[in-house]
């Protein structure tokens, strides 16, 4: 009813179109294709093709676990999908903001294939129907807020005049707060200043004229001797000539030193031209001066003052980790600022009192769908350390951890292949990952030659190293404990992850068997325990406090929490494509980030 298009009496052509839509399915996976791979679902084999955006998709595939923020984003994506569209929910029951799913299936490859077949039937029958309803969701409501064109940070809910410059506020449509992942910071960036152009009111000679005159323009060439020049971002850099700041390359701005206020009488700096713009002779009233507009804006690396736009690279961006909310402030196609958030972060399950150890282990495993066994092992080890018990098959457990590491690195390779447009690597890595995830010991040993041959193929891809070695330079003292590599860039991390796969394979071969991770019997022990596990993304450690066989407090520190701080320095002043590859190269899992 929410998916089909309205037509009074569908005829033969509509039937044909319905069947064609059924045979050419473009799927938008919520939360993301990695979840499908981690759950062992082969979408390509089932006949589904990945869609690059909501406009391109006609099937919304929902996979567990789904938080309410993720469901809000899914409702936004569903609203933007053109009809005829359908929702398929595998292993998920309540998808509140979204309407009733058209097809429910259970989370397995057989369930997927069966639901794809019933989806083809569904599209063939009711792509077009006469009873159709509009889909609405809380995330789609919009309200009008008023902001001042010159000072985007002034925001109010009713029209009026801006306290700073007295210009009347301009209506601007924005989403209600429930829809946005986190509070829209009041200090909006440049983007709303271009909404300023919606104002047709002329520049009133507002009281703020006074400070215009003071701000002497940096006339690069004819800098007079007495003026001091300092860098806007590093005030301690002081030079007596114009130029660019050695630290950050920004242009040095003239600073109004007290001593030279009275003395500047040099030719080009006649006092008169210093006066504010609107007093220039021969200027028609109501002239919209551009100097005022570009005055405050920061300069880009080539000295031009341009406008920046804030663009969300939201939870379902192909190439970025699923559920990772990234908002880039773009200066042209350079990234000026990056803010990260997570649509599916984990929350401590101990708010409502202590729970017994077994449930805590299951709970932590459920919250981390991308690395379930790793965090199950971490919880077991921490609890066993607290209860001073040691489990007997520890090296077998390491083999399970190694298997999951291989699966995680292969998913990372699929993501990198999709981002760089290398379809061959993307398909092969996905196929291998599906084989590894369900394999027992003998199958893994049989897979080893295929895996090492694939690793050689990835390393031999022409121009791949050249594309990656200029990208993702980590600042020197950053706390990066992911796969260590000699060269500190994306190419180095790629090679490190490929070596990590071969090391894990060797570890599994040495361990001899894949052990099942079970919590040792701890009765009602008490005490403090600390454990740390080397996951595919870095070192995760957990501090647990036990009392009477129950966990009263736990402090989890995951690698992704630490690595999100690296996103900002990594992408500063980088080209957009390089910034996205750099973010993908540090492999952040939004599930491991706090809500």
Partner 1 sequence: MSQLQQYAILFGLTVGTLGLVLSLYALARAIGKTRKEPGKDVPATAGQLSRDPVWVRYHARYTTFALLFLAFDMEMAFMYPWAVVYKEEGLVALLDMGVFLAILFLGLLYGWSQSALKRQ
Partner 2 sequence: MTLELVVTLIIAAAMFGTGIYGALSQTNLVMIMMGIELILAAALLNLVAFWRYLHPDAIEAQMFVLIVMTVMAVEMAVGFAVAITRFRSRGSVEMEEAQELKG
Partner 3 sequence: MSVQVIFLLAFGLAAVWFGIVVFRTHSMVRSALALLFSQTAVGAMFLVMQAEFLGVLQIMMMATEMSIMAIFMVMFMMDPGGLGEMDMKHQRKLSLWAGIIAFGGASGLALFGDWGPIATQIPDAGEQVRLLGIELLGRSMLIFESAGLTILTAMIAATSIAVQPPHRPKETPDKSKEPYQVHNHGGAA
The residue count for the chain: 595
Contact 76, 83 (CB under 8 A): no
Tokens representing 393? 């098959």
Contact 344, 591 (CB under 8 A): yes
Query: Under the phi-then-psi rule, with left for phi > 0, alpha for psi from -120 to 50, and beta for the rest, what region is 289?
Result: beta
CA distances from residue 560 to 301, 324, 594 in whole angstroms, order as listed:
31, 11, 9
Q: List the x/- string, 205-244, binding to partner 3 by CB under 8 A.
A: ----------------x------------x-xxxx-xxxx
Closest distance to partner 1 from the beta carbon of 198 (Å):
8
The single residue among 26, 164, 199, 547 that binds partner 3, judged by CB under 8 A, is 199
Instruction: Give the C-alpha separation, 270 to 264, whole Å.
Output: 8
The single residue among 12, 110, 281, 486 that binds partner 2, judged by CB under 8 A, is 281
Closest distance to partner 1 from the beta carbon of 244 (Å):
13
The single residue among 143, 217, 247, 427 that binds partner 2, judged by CB under 8 A, is 217
Neighbours of 317 (CB within 10 A): 18
Residues 6+ apart with CB under 8 A from 110: none
The verdict on 7 binding partner 3 (CB under 8 A) reads no
Contact of residue 416 among partner 3, partner 1, partner 2, none (CB under 5-8 Å per partner type):
none
Pairing mode, strands 538-547 and 550-557: antiparallel
Query: Under the phi-then-psi rule, with left for phi > 0, alpha for psi from -120 to 50, and beta for the rest, what region is 534?
Result: beta
The verdict on 273 binding partner 2 (CB under 8 A) reads yes
Q: Whose Cβ is closer to partner 1: residue 3's or residue 559's?
A: 3
Q: Which stretch binds partner 1 (CB under 8 A): 19-27, 281-289, 308-316, 348-356?
A: 308-316
The single residue among 50, 140, 208, 277 that binds partner 2, judged by CB under 8 A, is 277
Q: List the x/- string, 118-147, binding to partner 1 by CB under 8 A.
A: ----------x---x-xxxx-xxxx-----
The verdict on 197 binding partner 3 (CB under 8 A) reads yes
Contact 523, 549 (CB under 8 A): yes
Q: List the x/- string, 553-582, binding to partner 1 by CB under 8 A.
A: ----------------------x-------
Question: Angle at CA 100, nearest 5°, toward 125 and 121?
Answer: 20
Closest distance to partner 2 from the beta carbon of 303 (Å):
4
Q: Which stretch binds partner 1 (CB under 8 A): 260-268, 315-323, 379-387, 393-401?
A: 315-323
The verdict on 305 binding partner 2 (CB under 8 A) reads yes
The verdict on 221 binding partner 1 (CB under 8 A) reads no
The single residue among 74, 227, 494, 580 that binds partner 1, judged by CB under 8 A, is 74
Contact of residue 192 among partner 2, partner 1, partner 3, none (CB under 5-8 Å per partner type):
partner 1
Count of residues near partner 3 by CB under 8 A:
28
CA distances from residue 139 to 76, 77, 110, 174, 319 in whole angstroms, order as listed:
7, 10, 34, 11, 24
Contact of residue 191 among partner 2, partner 1, partner 3, none (CB under 5-8 Å per partner type):
partner 1
In angstroms, what is the C-alpha Rg of the chain?
Answer: 29
Q: Whose Cβ is closer to partner 3: residue 121's or residue 304's?
A: 304
Instruction: Give the C-alpha separation, 430 to 411, whole Å.
Output: 7
* DSSP state for residue 138 in the 8-state scheme: G
The single residue among 138, 213, 246, 438 that binds partner 3, judged by CB under 8 A, is 246
Contact 564, 335 (CB under 8 A): no
Instruction: Give the C-alpha separation, 335 to 329, whole Å.
Output: 6
Q: At what angle do helices 357-367 and 372-386 cross, to 10 degrees?
A: 150
Closest distance to partner 3 from the beta carbon of 290 (Å):
5
Contact 234, 245 (CB under 8 A): yes
The verdict on 280 binding partner 3 (CB under 8 A) reads no
The verdict on 196 binding partner 3 (CB under 8 A) reads yes
Q: Whose Cβ is closer to partner 3: residue 298's or residue 549's?
A: 298
Tokens representing 453? 């041959």
Q: List the x/- string, 174-213, binding to partner 2 by CB under 8 A.
A: ----------------------------------------
Handedness of CA 439, 443, 445, 449 (dihedral sign): negative
Site for partner 2 in 417-476 (CB under 8 A): none
Helix (H, G, I), strand (E, B) or coil at 240: coil
Tokens representing 502? 């071969």
Closest distance to partner 3 from the beta carbon of 309 (Å):
12
Q: Is 523 exposed, middle or buried (0-12, 13-18, 19+ CB in 10 A)?
A: exposed
- DSSP notation for 409-429: HHHHHHHHHHHHT-HHHHHHH
Residue ranges binding partner 3 (CB under 8 A): 194-200, 221, 234, 236-239, 241-244, 246, 249, 284, 287-288, 290, 293, 302-304, 306
Residue ranges binding partner 2 (CB under 8 A): 217-221, 268, 273, 277, 280-284, 287, 289-291, 293-295, 302-305
Residue ranges binding partner 1 (CB under 8 A): 5-7, 13-14, 17, 53-55, 73-74, 76-77, 79-80, 82-83, 128, 132, 134-137, 139-142, 172-175, 179, 181, 190-192, 194-195, 300-302, 304, 306-318, 325, 331-334, 575
């Amino acid at each position: 009813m929410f998916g089909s298009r309205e037509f009074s009496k569908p005829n033969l052509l509509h039937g044909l179109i319905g069947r064609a839509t059924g045979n050419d399915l473009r799927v938008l996976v919520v939360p993301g294709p990695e979840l499908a791979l981690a759950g062992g679902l082969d979408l390509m084999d089932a006949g589904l093709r990945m869609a690059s955006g909501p406009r391109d998709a006609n099937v919304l595939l929902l996979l567990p676990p789904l938080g309410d923020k993720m469901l809000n984003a899914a409702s936004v994506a569903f609203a933007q999908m053109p009809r005829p569209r359908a929702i398929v929910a595998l292993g998920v029951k309540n998808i509140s903001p979204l309407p009733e799913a058209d097809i429910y299936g259970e989370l397995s490859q057989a369930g997927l294939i069966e639901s794809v077949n019933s989806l083809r039937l569904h599209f063939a029958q009711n792509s077009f129907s006469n009873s159709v309803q509009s889909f609405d969701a809380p995330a789609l409501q919009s309200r009008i807020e008023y902001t001042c064109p010159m000072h985007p940070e002034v925001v109010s809910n009713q029209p009026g005049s801006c306290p700073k410059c007295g210009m009347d506020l301009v209506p601007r449509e924005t989403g209600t707060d429930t829809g946005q992942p986190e509070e829209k910071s009041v200090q909006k960036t440049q983007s709303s200043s271009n909404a300023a152009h919606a104002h047709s009111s002329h520049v009133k000679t507002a009281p703020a004229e006074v400070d215009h005159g003071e701000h002497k323009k940096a006339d690069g060439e004819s800098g007079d001797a007495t003026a001091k020049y300092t860098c806007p971002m590093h005030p301690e850099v002081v030079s007596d000539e114009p130029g660019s700041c050695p630290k950050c390359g920004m242009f040095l701005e003239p600073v109004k030193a007290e001593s030279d206020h009275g003395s500047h009488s040099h030719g080009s700096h006649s006092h008169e031209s210093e006066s504010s713009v609107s007093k220039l002779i021969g200027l028609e009233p109501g002239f919209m001066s551009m100097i005022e507009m570009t005055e405050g804006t920061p300069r880009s690396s080539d000295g031009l003052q341009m406008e920046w736009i804030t663009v969300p690279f939201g939870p379902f961006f192909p190439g970025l980790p699923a559920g990772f909310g990234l908002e880039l402030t773009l200066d042209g196609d350079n990234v000026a600022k990056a803010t990260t958030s997570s649509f599916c972060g984990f929350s401590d399950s101990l708010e409502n009192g202590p729970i017994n150890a077994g449930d805590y282990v299951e709970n932590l495993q459920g919250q981390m769908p991308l690395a379930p066994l790793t965090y199950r092992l971490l919880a077991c080890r921490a609890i066993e350390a607290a209860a001073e018990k040691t489990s007997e098959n520890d090296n077998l457990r390491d083999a399970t951890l190694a298997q999951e590491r291989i699966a995680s690195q292969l998913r990372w390779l699929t993501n990198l292949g999709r981002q760089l447009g290398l379809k061959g690597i993307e398909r092969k890595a996905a196929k291998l990952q599906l084989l590894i995830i369900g394999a027992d010991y003998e199958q893994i040993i049989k897979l080893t030659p295929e895996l090492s041959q694939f690793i050689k193929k990835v390393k031999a891809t022409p121009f791949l190293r050249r594309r990656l070695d200029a990208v993702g330079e980590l600042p020197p003292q950053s706390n990066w404990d992911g796969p260590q590599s000699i060269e500190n860039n994306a190419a180095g991390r790629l090679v490190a992850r490929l070596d990590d796969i071969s090391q894990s394979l060797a570890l599994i071969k040495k361990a001899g068997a894949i052990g099942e991770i079970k919590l040792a019997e701890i009765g009602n022990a008490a005490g403090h325990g600390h454990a740390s596990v080397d996951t595919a993304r870095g070192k995760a450690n957990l501090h647990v406090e036990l009392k009477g066989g129950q966990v009263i407090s736990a402090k989890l520190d995951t690698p992704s929490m630490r690595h999100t701080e690296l996103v900002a320095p990594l992408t500063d002043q980088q080209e957009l494509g390089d910034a996205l590859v750099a973010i993908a190269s540090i492999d952040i899992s939004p599930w491991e980030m706090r809500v």
